[in-house]
Structure 1
């Protein structure tokens, strides 16, 4: 085989692989097209608990850290700011409209080590479990963040303030 022939074979294989990747992503976006991102602003009067610069890693199916969801605005890694307020969490991803997850939709926060295409030191990721709107109601998803200027523990502690039950006042008066 000549060099030109070998080059054509390599190019054909590369184009075939790129085509398969594009076809797979297209099928994923069709599958997840009913998932509605929570676009919105922080309610007026909400108290800010903290603002955390992060690398947004992914949003995945709940407890399936290798199953990325192709939700509009949440499908790709990005630099972001996570603003934790007493009313919920605002996500400001580069080039996307602000997303706001109300407190009522937040289930839990924890630390993680692995998410799709990202493996870090033990407990180096912050994971937020929350309800995402679907045509049939809601589904539970997990969003992963890699804090840039603080520890994952600090972000998780701030997020846990939203997932913990509201304190009740008790008295025997």
Structure 2
């Protein structure tokens, strides 16, 4: 085999692999087309509680940190500014319109160690669970992973948890239980 033949084989292999990657991403985009990020500005009158800078890592299916979703605006890693207000959380990703997660959309917030493409120290990621399809009956739950840069992930989680309504308990407490 000549050197030119080997180079042509490698070029052909690279083109095939790139084509397969593009085809897979298109299929993933079609699969996730029913899911939408809530684009919008922070409502007028909302009080800012905290602002954090960091990295947007990924959005995945709820409790499946290795299954990336191809939601428009959330498909790729980016720098992010997280603004916590009393009415919800705004995510400003580089080159994308602002996303605003109202309190009704946010299901929970916590810490994580692993997300697709990223493994960090224990509890080094913020996991924000929210409803991607708020207007549909199934209310698909997704997890967005963030990596704080100017604060600890615990500080981001505490700031977001501080605006969420307290969970209602259905179990009796006290001496009547």
TM-score tier, shorter chain, comes to over 0.9
| Preserved CA contact (<8 Å) 1:32 1:70 | yes
SS of the residue corresponding to residue 111 of structure 2 reads: strand
Structure 1 residues 28 and 134: CA distance shift in structure 2, 3 A: farther
What is the match of residue 52 of structure 1? 52
Deviation at 1:163, TM superposition (A): 3.0
* Distance in 2 separating the partners of 1:18 and 1:24: 10
Q: CA RMSD in A?
A: 1.5
Structure 1 runs of 4+ aligned residues shifted over 6 Å read none
CA distance in 2 between partners of 1:166 and 1:39 (Å) = 26
Q: 2:94 corresponds to which residue? A: 94
**Residue of structure 2 in register with 1:104 after alignment:** 104
Aligned to 2:131, the other structure's residue is in SS state strand
> Corresponding residue for 1:78?
78
- Structure 2 distance, partners of 1:19, 1:53, is 35
Aligned length, in residue pairs: 167
How many angstroms does 1:21 deviate by? Answer: 0.5
- Alpha carbons of structure 1 residues 46 and 134: separation in structure 2 relative to 1, 3 Å: closer
SS of structure 2 residue aligned to 1:65: strand
The answer on whether the counterparts of 1:55 and 1:147 sit within 8 Å (CA) in structure 2 is: yes
User: Where do 5+ consecutive residues of structure 1 fail to align?
Assistant: 168-173
The verdict on how the C-alpha distance between 1:134 and 1:35 changes in structure 2, with shifts beyond 3 A counting, is farther
- 1:164 deviates by 4.2
The residue that corresponds to 1:149 in the other structure is 150
Equivalent-residue separation in structure 1 for 2:17 and 2:167 (angstroms): 51
Aligned match of 2:67: 67
Flag the 1:135–1:20 CA change in 2: closer, same or farther, 3 A: farther
The CA deviation at 1:146 is 0.4
Match of 1:171 in 2: none
Gaps of 5+ in 2: 169-177
Deviates more, 1:135-144 or 1:10-19: 135-144
